[in-house]
Amino acid sequence: MALRIIVLEPDEVLHKRAKEVTKITPNVQKLLTDMADTMYHAEGVGLAAPQVGILKRMIVVDVGDDNGLIELINPEIVSKEGEQFGPEGCLSIPGYRGDVKRAQTVTVKGLDRNGNEVTYTGSDLLARAFQHEIDHLDGVLYTDIAERVYETPREEEERE
């Protein structure tokens, strides 16, 4: 288990576009493992490579559903449906939440850790997590698109 340091806002790496992964190497696979370990340790539901200081198009997501851990290299949203509006947080912006409008259901495609093309369709929290993490790959934070940002009450923060 290797934990990475989570980069915090206002670090400039969080505002840059990540580069496409052109070759899947053991280092890329190790980074996915480290990202998952880091996400679970921080009790998050998603993490993008820029959040650990690496400008590569890679995300990990686990919202606690039947999908379990989803690892995606070069993910992209191929379709969006509906609309949801609700609170989001971010491991790179501790102590805050924001009200964000997102698609209700999204389909994403990318590569798994072995270079196989995979597609996932998710709704509700999974759709929100996919959109949030893919935004990170484009240098967009939820605070850039939130209708309102507010501090998280201390007791709520301790439960996370």
- Residues 92-143: pLDDT tens digits? 999 999 999 999 999 999 999 999 999 999 999 999 999 999 999 999 999 9
Architecture, CATH, for domain 12-159: Alpha-Beta Complex (3.90)
Nearest-angstrom CA–CA distance, 33 and 49: 11
Q: In the structure, what pLDDT confidence band is assigned to residue 153 with cuts at 50, 70 and 90? A: confident
Contacts of 160 (CB under 8 A, 6+ apart): 43, 89, 152
Q: How far apart are the first and last CA of the chain?
A: 21
The pLDDT, as a whole number, for residue 158 is 42
Annotated catalytic residue within 71, 133, 156, 157: 133
Position 21 scores a pLDDT of 98
User: Is 76 a residue of the active site?
Assistant: no
CA distances to 57, 109, 126, 154 from 135, rounded to whole Å, are: 10, 15, 14, 27
Residue 2 scores a pLDDT above 60: yes
- Contact between residue 46 and residue 129 where contact means Cβ atoms under 8 Å apart: yes
Token reading at 43: 């009790």
- 160 pLDDT tier (thresholds 50, 70, 90): very low
Residue 15 assigned as binding residue:
no
pLDDT at 35 over 60: yes
Taking CA atoms, 124 is separated from 5, 52, 131, in Å, by 28, 26, 11
Q: Is pLDDT above 50 for 159? A: no
18 in a known ligand binding site: no
Distance between CA 49 and CA 158 in Å, rounded? 25
Lowest mean pLDDT among 38-42, 82-86, 150-154: 150-154
What is the pairing mode between strands 58-61 and 96-102? unpaired
Name the band, by pLDDT with cuts 50, 70 and 90, for residue 154.
Answer: low
Q: What is the mean pLDDT of the chain?
A: 95
